[in-house]
Structure 1
Amino acid sequence: MKWAFLLGSPDISGGSYVIFEHAIRATKLGAEVTIITEEHVNMDRLHWHPEARKLIWKTFREIDDIYFDVCIATWWRTVYELYRVKAEKYAYFVQSIESRFYEESEWSLRKLVDSTYLLPLHIITEAKWIKEYLKDNFNQDAVLVPNGIRKDIYFVQGELIKNRENGKLRVLVEGPIDVPFKNVPKTIEICKKSSADEIWLLTSSPITSYPGVDKVFSQVPIFETPKIYRSCDVIIKLSYVEGMFGPPLEMFHCGGTSITYDVTGHDEYIVSGENGLVAPRDHDNKVLEYLNLLKESPKELERLKSAAIKTADAWPSWDEASKKFFDAVFDICKGAQINNREIIEVQSKFYFDWYVIAEQAKSDSIIIKENIYSVLKSVVRNRLPKVFNILRKVKYKVKVKRLK
């Protein structure tokens, strides 16, 4: 079978990592896997996952004469590029409900993202909550294939950056610092207020230091991450949006525990008070309470770690998970036809055109409001100068108050 994965970016991310793990193992199981991107990818960008260099990499311009058995979109934007690929079957690997990545004010963009779940595509997902969400909201029956774990990399006994110290608490914050829904800056601030002895940061952001953080590990290859996990007691991950996040599970495999919000997907493997600690979203005093508890009660910390290891032992490897993914794609290839290239092209362009119309309407509305404001401002300034001066002083005071 000839597979094509459409990839938004080859740079370090949890989503790309999962795609690569499936793609690499599908190749070992006999599929010919091609990763298709918009622009040519320099293999140096794959330093963080060197095994992915062994896959076939093509741009859209290079696959005009290639016919695939299946083409798989992996991010909402790539769904709208499916029609550019000649394939017998078309599928969608949904790793999160990605409209949640954007602010509610971006309503037209969020609708465009959600429209991808209405297209006639075979869907595979990685988490129970996503499968249920797609069924309840879009009447889509997705195939569930939970993510695996690299048992050959993540295990308790192994190399460390620095030994753990009895009586001291070393916490690890994970995630990019410049992605709002990952919530990393606030997570660090909470850790700084706690009684934790050391704060480490593992991030995909290209930085060498961060205020209040003792050690920063930036853009680390996957084979180097276990020794960071093994050196820490607990991972603090307070993201607002997740599909089925991997770092806490990787930490479980390396002998640590976790503190998270009750973000979607946490309950795939975290049981609060048993193998980790879970706080309601933005209940930061509860997170602080948990951090101080782990510092003050080494027995509680060890109890959570012990249960986390049991959870890790029972979790499937990537070989097991990817075999299920392979079987799901095989069934798609052998199953009934539910779409074709022409149908996908027509429907994709229909949804995208509505997005353009909505964005234009929003832009026109903003321009109209700005024009009305400008006219009113001019009228008040010219006809009611005293009122204008009072309003200007009030506006200045409000602005100063917000800055404080």
Structure 2
Amino acid sequence: MKWAFLLGSPDISGGSYVIFEHAIRATKKGVLVTIITEEEVNMERLHWHPEARSLIWKTYKEVENDKFDVCIATWWRTVYELYRVTAETYAYFVQSIESRFYDENERSLRHLVDSTYQLPLHIITEAKWIQKHLNEHFNKDAKLVPNGIRKDIYSIEGVRHQAREQGKLRVLVEGPIDVPFKNVPKTIEICKQSDADEIWLLTSSPISSYPGVDKVFSQVPIFETAQIYRSCDVIIKLSYVEGMFGPPLEMFHCGGTSITYNVTGHDEYIVSDQNALVAAKDDDKAVLNFINSLKHSPTLLRDLKDKAIDTASNWPGWDESSEQFYKAVKSISEDNSLFVHNSKDIIEKKSEFYFQWYVIAEENKNVITKQTAIQKIYENTKSFLRRHFPEMFGFFRKIKYKLIIKKIIK
């Protein structure tokens, strides 16, 4: 079989990590896997996941004459690029409801993202809540393949960056600092207000330090991340949007626990007050109290860690997960239920239709924004004349009224 994965970026991210794990294992089963990107990828960008270099990497231009059994979009934007690749079957690997990545005032963009679920595509997802959402809101039956974990990397035993210290609490914050829905800056501020002894930051952002953080680990290869997890007691992950986030689960495997918001996907493996602590979104007082309780209650910390280890021991590895993914893709390639609609031409036409609606919405928004700005200038000018030049204001108002009356008489 020949698979194509459409990738937005090869740079470090949880979404790309999941794609690579499935793709690498598929190649071991004899599948010819090609990762397709807009521009040629320098293999140095894959320093964080060197095994991904073994995959075939091509641009859209380079696959113009290729044909695949299955072409899989992996991010909403790549759905609108599917028509550029020739394949027998087209699919969509949904790792989150990505319209939630954007601010609510970006209504036309959020609608464009959600429109991807209306296209005639086979869908695979990684979390039960996404599967349910797609069924309830878009009448789509997605195949569920939960993410695995690298048992060869994430384990209690192994090298530590620094030993844990008895009686001290070392917290780990994880995520990029410049992605709003990841909420990293505020997470660090809460940790700084707490009784935690040390704050460490594991980030994909290219930084060497951050105010109030004791140690910063930037763009770390996956094989070295476990050393950091094993050195910390708890990961503080306060994202607003997630599919099925991996870092808390990786921390569980390395002997720690977590504090999170009740974000989508947390309940795939987190049980509040058993293996971790869960606060309502933006209940920062609760998060602060949680951190302080772990600092001052060694028994609570130990109990949460023990239950987290139990959760980890029962979680599947990537071999098991990717076997499910392989079977899901194989069944999709053999499924003729969408044969008439799941074609390159129809996907291109439907994609163009949805995209044109987005363009129209954006153009209208720009017109309204411009009109609003002009109206604001007019109101400000009027207010300025009324305050500073009342006689001139009165003169212009009389002229305006005369013009209105003339128009009515006509």
The two structures share one fold, judged by TM-score above 0.5: yes
Select 2:366's aligned residue among 358, 363, 367: 363
After the TM superposition, which residues 277-316 of structure 1 pair with which residues of structure 2 at under 5 Å, given as runs?
277-316=277-316
Specify every segment of 5 or more residues in structure 2 that has no aligned partner in the other structure, as ranges.
391-410
Q: State the alpha-carbon separation in 1 of the partners of residues 178 and 389 from structure 2.
A: 44
State the partner residue of 1:66.
66
TM-score (norm 2): 0.93
Give, in angstroms, the shift of residue 380 of structure 1.
2.9
* Residue in 2 that maps onto 1:392: none
Q: Where does residue 128 of structure 1 map in the other structure?
A: 128
CA distance in 1, matches of 2:194, 2:208: 23
Amino acid at match of 1:382: L
1:385 aligns with 2:396: no
Match of 2:268 in 1: 268
Deviations 1:124-155 (A, max 9, x none): 00000000000000000000000000001000
Counterpart of 1:278 in 2: which secondary structure? strand
1:270-304 deviation line (CA, Å, top 9, x unaligned): 00000000000000000011000000011110110
Q: Could you say which residue in structure 1 is the equivalent of 2:90?
A: 90
Amino acid at match of 1:240: Y
Letter in 2 for 1:335: D
Aligned residue in 2 for 1:232: 232
Deviation by residue 1:301-326 (Cα, 9 ceiling, x = unmatched): 01100100000000000000000000
SS in 2 for 1:190: helix
Rounded Cα–Cα distance in structure 1 between residues aligned with 2:285 and 2:377? 44
What residue ranges of structure 1 are gaps of 5+ in the alignment? 388-404
Q: Match for residue 320 of structure 2? A: 320
Aligned residues: 387
What secondary structure, in the 3-state scheme, does the structure 2 residue paired with 1:264 have? coil
2:378 to 351, 360, 375: 375
1:212-257 residue CA offsets vs partner (Å, 9 max, x unmatched): 0000000000000000000000000000000000000000000000
Q: Residues of 2 paired with 1:376 and 1:286: CA distance? A: 45
Displacement, 1:335? 1.1
Residue correspondence of structure 1 range 34-73 to structure 2 within 5 A: 34-73=34-73
2:110 is matched with 110
Residue pairs, 1:170-209, within 5 angstroms? 170-209=170-209
Shift of 1:381: 2.4
The offset of 1:386, in angstroms, is: 6.7
* AA at the equivalent of 1:350: F
Q: Give the secondary structure class of the aligned counterpart of 2:124.
A: strand
The 3-state SS of whatever aligns with 1:274 is coil
Aligned AA (2:382): V
The offset of 1:376, in angstroms, is 2.3
Structure 1 residue 383 displacement after superposition: 4.3
Task: Rate the CA distance shift 1:296–1:383 in 2: closer, same or farther, 3 A.
Answer: closer
Output the CA distance in 2 between the equivalents of 1:188 and 1:98: 25
Match of 2:11 in 1: 11
How far the C-alpha of 1:374 sits from its partner, in A, is 1.4
Give the TM-score, by structure 1 length.
0.95
- The answer as to 2:253 corresponding to 1:253 is yes
- Aligned counterparts of 2:262 and 2:46: Cα–Cα separation in 1: 32
Cα distance in 2, alignment partners of residues 215 and 307 from structure 1: 28
Match of 2:343 in 1: 340
Separation of aligned partners in 1, 2:144 and 2:158? 33
Bigger radius of gyration:
2
Q: Hey, what's the Cα distance between the residues in 1 that align with 2:176 and 2:257? A: 20
- Once the two structures are TM-superposed, the CA of residue 379 in structure 1 deviates from its matched residue by 2.8
Amino acid at match of 1:217: F
Separation (CA, whole Å) in 1 of partners of 2:21 and 2:303: 32
SS across alignment from 2:161: coil
1:299 match: secondary structure: helix
Q: Give the distance between the partners of 1:335 and 1:131, measured in 2 at CA.
A: 19
Q: Distance in 2 between matches of 1:359 and 1:247?
A: 36
Give the 3 Å change call, closer, same or farther, for CA 379–82 of structure 1 in structure 2: same
Residue-by-residue CA offset, 1:169-224 (whole Å, 9 max, x unaligned): 00000000000000000000000111000000000000000000000000000000
Overall identity of the aligned pairs, in % = 71
